[in-house]
């Protein structure tokens, strides 16, 4: 208790010097607080994004390597599913496409298919539609980015349910609850499959005039269903195609994923690549903020520590006689050291309280400004590189456009720890001064 009372008295006796030290300490703690609050928030956002979205990986054919092989084959469904078991992946989305013929229905831009007349002539029936299936709960990227929407009914939930387009429904007089049947395009193995229409979707993209009309390629002739239904269709084994889209936990795992995929049967002429442009557009700005804030934090700690150490040396020199008298009166060296640390702790505690209060107010506008700058820089780099989006605004829903800064217990702990380090730095000079000399030596230097 005596040491605390004496520390308080010493603070009041040397107001000018202690106010100067306090202001500098407050400035350092405030800068540190703002940096840590922003950094912990950015780290939380980045980790949350990576956990929810990951980094999309696609498999592409390396044409140079493919020239060395005579039999080029796309990865089978079994190979793709085996690769999907990798521990490096956040998730895997599957999509399936199957060309089919519409039985007793007219395709957009085509003619009615069905009946004996349609089964003569060529070996195969011309496909009039495509069954597109996905494991993605959002149905497809078209529904996620708004280029398609459900106009009537609902998305498929039960087996053998499907969505059809407004145009196809109007052309054939179909409505929610009706059934449609599709067949294989091979005449000798029709393998019919019946769907129940659970919903009708609207295509929000402008219609393109390509100069020729192929029903199979018309978006309005796409029948959408879930992956389990598609895999369960008898005709899928003959003509179905499965495509897996992998999502890495982190883009830096790409090389390890490539090696693991090769071990699981991926042909050497296929390569895995991530969509770095899309990933950097979304996560890049906040990661840029983290780098800026970290560099600023390190600089503040270095220069702030040097300034505090310099002020501590000057303060101890001024208090040399006082320290010598206390030591000559019999106060042990350890108590003098504890007293000086208590003074520094009191100053740091006051500055820490004020700094935390101010940091909650200043962090948000600073983070907003940094995010705007980083987003602008990222967009300029994307434009300079010539990268274009296939569907403008498709990634806007995932783009991190704002940061809600908050003071977390983790941030308070880090700030408190750094404040303690500052106390030790500011007290170190006095500790060294006291431990090096005896009382008479200190008093003689005063003389």
Same domain (yes/no): 310, 404: yes
Predicted confidence at residue 118, as pLDDT, reads 45
Query: Residue 306 sits in which domain range?
Result: 2-53+280-446
Do both 134 and 48 map to the same domain? no
Confidence of residue 244 (pLDDT cuts 50, 70, 90): confident
What pLDDT digit, counting tens, does each position of 152-204 carry? Answer: 999 998 999 999 999 999 999 999 999 999 998 887 788 899 999 999 999 88
State whether 363 and 408 are in the same domain.
yes
- Are residues 244 and 99 part of one domain? yes
Model confidence at 11: pLDDT above 80: no
Residue 272 included in any domain? no
98 DSSP β-pair partners: 131
Say yes or no: 299 and 419 in one domain. yes
C-alpha to C-alpha distance for 312 and 431, rounded to whole angstroms? 10
E strands in 19-123 = 55-61, 89-102, 105-106, 112-113
Residue 70 counted as domain residue: no
Residues 294, 440 within the same domain: yes
Are 350 and 298 found together in one domain?
yes
- Cα(161)–Cα(268) distance, integer angstroms: 39
Contact 407, 290 (CB under 8 A): no
Total residue length of the chain: 447
Q: Which residues contact 258 (CB under 8 A, 6 or more apart)?
A: 271, 272
CA distances from 154 to 150, 181, 204 (A): 7, 20, 17
Same domain, 46 and 138: no
Per the structure, the count of domains in the chain is 2
Q: For residues 321 and 439, is the Cβ–Cβ distance under 8 A?
A: no
Residues 190 and 320 in one domain: no
Query: Domain end: 248, 265, 290, which one?
Result: 248
What's the average model confidence in pLDDT over 7-35? 79
Mean pLDDT taken over the chain: 79
Of 207, 224, 248, the residue at which a domain comes to its end is 248
Evaluate whether residue 263 is within a structural domain: no
Task: Write down which residue in 206, 228, 248 finishes a domain.
Answer: 248
Please determine, for residue 14, whether its predicted confidence score (pLDDT) is greater than 50. yes
Q: Let me know if residue 233 belongs to a domain.
A: yes
pLDDT tens string 79-130: 888 999 999 988 888 888 898 999 989 998 875 444 333 434 456 677 889 9
Per residue in 409-433, pLDDT (tens digit) is 888 888 888 888 877 777 777 677 6
Asked if 93 and 27 sit in the same domain, the reply is: no
Helix (H) or strand (E) holding 165, with range, is strand 161-165
Residue 69 is assigned to a structural domain of this protein: no
235 with 342, same domain: the answer is no
Cα 29 to Cα 414: distance, rounded to the nearest angstrom: 11
Note whether 287 and 385 are same-domain residues: yes
- pLDDT reported for residue 43: 80
Is residue 134 one of the residues assigned to a domain? Answer: yes
Stated pTM of the model: 0.54
As a whole number of angstroms, the distance between CA 315 and CA 25 comes to: 15
Task: List, for residues 300-344, the tens digit of each pLDDT value.
Answer: 888 888 888 887 777 777 776 677 777 777 777 777 777 777 878
Q: Is residue 257 part of a domain?
A: no
DSSP 201: E
Q: Is residue 391 part of a domain?
A: yes
């Amino acid at each position: 208790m005596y040491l605390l009372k004496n520390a308080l008295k010493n603070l009041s006796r040397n107001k000018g010097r202690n106010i100067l030290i306090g202001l500098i300490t407050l400035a350092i703690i405030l800068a540190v607080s703002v940096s840590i609050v922003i950094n912990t928030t950015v780290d939380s956002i980045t980790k949350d994004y990576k956990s929810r979205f990951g980094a999309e990986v696609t498999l592409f054919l390396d044409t140079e390597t493919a020239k060395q092989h005579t039999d080029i084959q796309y990865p089978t469904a079994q190979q793709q599913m085996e690769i999907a078991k990798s521990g490096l992946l956040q998730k895997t989305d599957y999509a399936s496409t199957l060309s089919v013929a519409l039985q007793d229905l007219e395709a957009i831009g085509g003619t009615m298919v069905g009946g004996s007349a349609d089964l003569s002539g060529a070996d195969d029936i011309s496909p009039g539609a495509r069954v597109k299936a996905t494991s993605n709960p959002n149905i497809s990227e078209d529904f996620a980015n708004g280029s398609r929407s459900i106009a009537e009914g609902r998305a498929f939930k039960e087996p053998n349910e499907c969505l059809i387009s407004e145009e196809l429904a109007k052309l054939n007089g179909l409505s929610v609850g009706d059934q449609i049947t599709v067949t294989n395009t091979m005449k000798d193995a029709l393998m019919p499959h019946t769907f129940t229409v659970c919903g009708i979707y609207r295509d929000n993209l402008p219609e393109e005039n390509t100069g020729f009309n192929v029903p199979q390629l018309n978006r309005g002739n796409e029948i959408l269903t879930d992956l389990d239904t598609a895999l369960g269709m008898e005709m899928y084994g003959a003509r179905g195609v499965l495509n897996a889209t992998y999502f890495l936990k982190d883009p830096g795992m790409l090389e390890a994923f490539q090696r693991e995929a090769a071990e699981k049967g991926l042909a050497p002429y296929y390569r895995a690549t991530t969509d770095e442009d899309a990933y950097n557009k979304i996560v890049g700005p906040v990661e840029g903020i983290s780098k800026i804030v970290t560099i600023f934090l390190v600089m503040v700690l270095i220069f702030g520590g040097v300034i505090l150490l310099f002020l501590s040396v000057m303060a101890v020199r001024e208090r040399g006689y006082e320290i010598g008298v206390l030591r000559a009166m019999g106060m042990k060296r350890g108590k003098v050291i504890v007293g000086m640390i208590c003074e520094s702790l009191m100053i740091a505690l006051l500055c820490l309280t004020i700094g935390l209060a101010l940091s909650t107010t200043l962090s948000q506008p600073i983070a907003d400004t940094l995010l705007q700058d980083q987003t602008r820089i990222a967009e300029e780099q994307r434009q300079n590189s010539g990268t274009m989006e296939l569907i403008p605004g498709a990634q806007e829903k995932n783009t991190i456009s704002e940061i809600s800064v908050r003071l977390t217990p983790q941030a308070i702990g880090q700030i408190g720890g750094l404040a303690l380090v500052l106390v030790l730095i500011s007290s170190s000079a006095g500790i060294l001064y006291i431990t090096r000399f005896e009382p008479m030596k200190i008093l003689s230097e005063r003389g």
